[in-house]
Amino acid sequence: MTDPSRAPLDAEIDVFQTATKDLVGVTVRSLEQLEGRVSLAQFRMLVVLADLGASPSSKVARELGLGASSVTRLADRLQASGHVVRGHDPGNRSVVTLELTPSGRRLVDQVMRWRRAELARILARLSPSDRAVLTTALHRFHEAVGRDDADGPYGPVPL
């Protein structure tokens, strides 16, 4: 038997499922900018490094929800492709740091510019009042998700 009090929640969940598909579609199309230069997992690491700046690999692993060995493999590939450089913490030489190269920064910027342009194109189809309502609602949704519900701001990266 269907609980009638669940019907509105089910309809709301359906709307969020559709929105999720729409946003994932924008994200997937933006990755076409990569033209096969890096994998999705590698790109997610580049995005984390763009946000964090030079960081210990252990911090990058935490942000991605990955183990140290997975981050090392990703960093190996990104260093070989010229997108990441390894270094050491001056205060503790045993701490390996990771940092974007100019090439890595350009790649992240290229994808993010495309996403911004695509989102601007889509949002332009809405009235200013609809955009304001949507922006407020999405901000509240983001707050409701909370940091306790994720392994990091980017969640775990599938390898």
Is 20 among the domain residues? Answer: no
User: Residue 11: pLDDT above 80?
Assistant: yes
Is 44 among the domain residues? Answer: yes
104 burial class (0-12, 13-18, 19+ CB within 10 angstroms)? buried
pLDDT digits (tens, 9 = 90+) for 67-117: 999 999 999 999 999 999 999 888 888 889 999 999 999 999 999 999 999
pLDDT value of position 142: 86
**Percent of the chain clearing pLDDT 90 (strictly above):** 67
Compute the Cα dihedral for 36, 37, 39, 41 and give only its sign. Answer: negative
Is 71 among the domain residues? Answer: yes
Please report, for the domain that includes residue 68, its CATH number.
1.10.10.10
Calculate the CA dihedral of residues 94, 100, 102, 108 and round it to 10 degrees.
Answer: 170
Q: Give the number of domains in the chain.
A: 1
Q: How many CB atoms lie within 10 A of CB 2?
A: 7
> What is the rounded CA–CA span in Å between residue 62 and residue 70?
11
pLDDT value of position 92: 86
Is 132 among the domain residues? Answer: yes
Residues 6+ apart with CB under 8 A from 82: 101, 103, 104
pLDDT value of position 90: 85
What range defines the domain where residue 125 resides? 32-149
Is 50 among the domain residues? Answer: yes
Is 39 among the domain residues? Answer: yes
Is 6 among the domain residues? Answer: no
pLDDT value of position 52: 94
Is 116 among the domain residues? Answer: yes
- In this prediction, residues 16-37 reach a mean pLDDT of 91
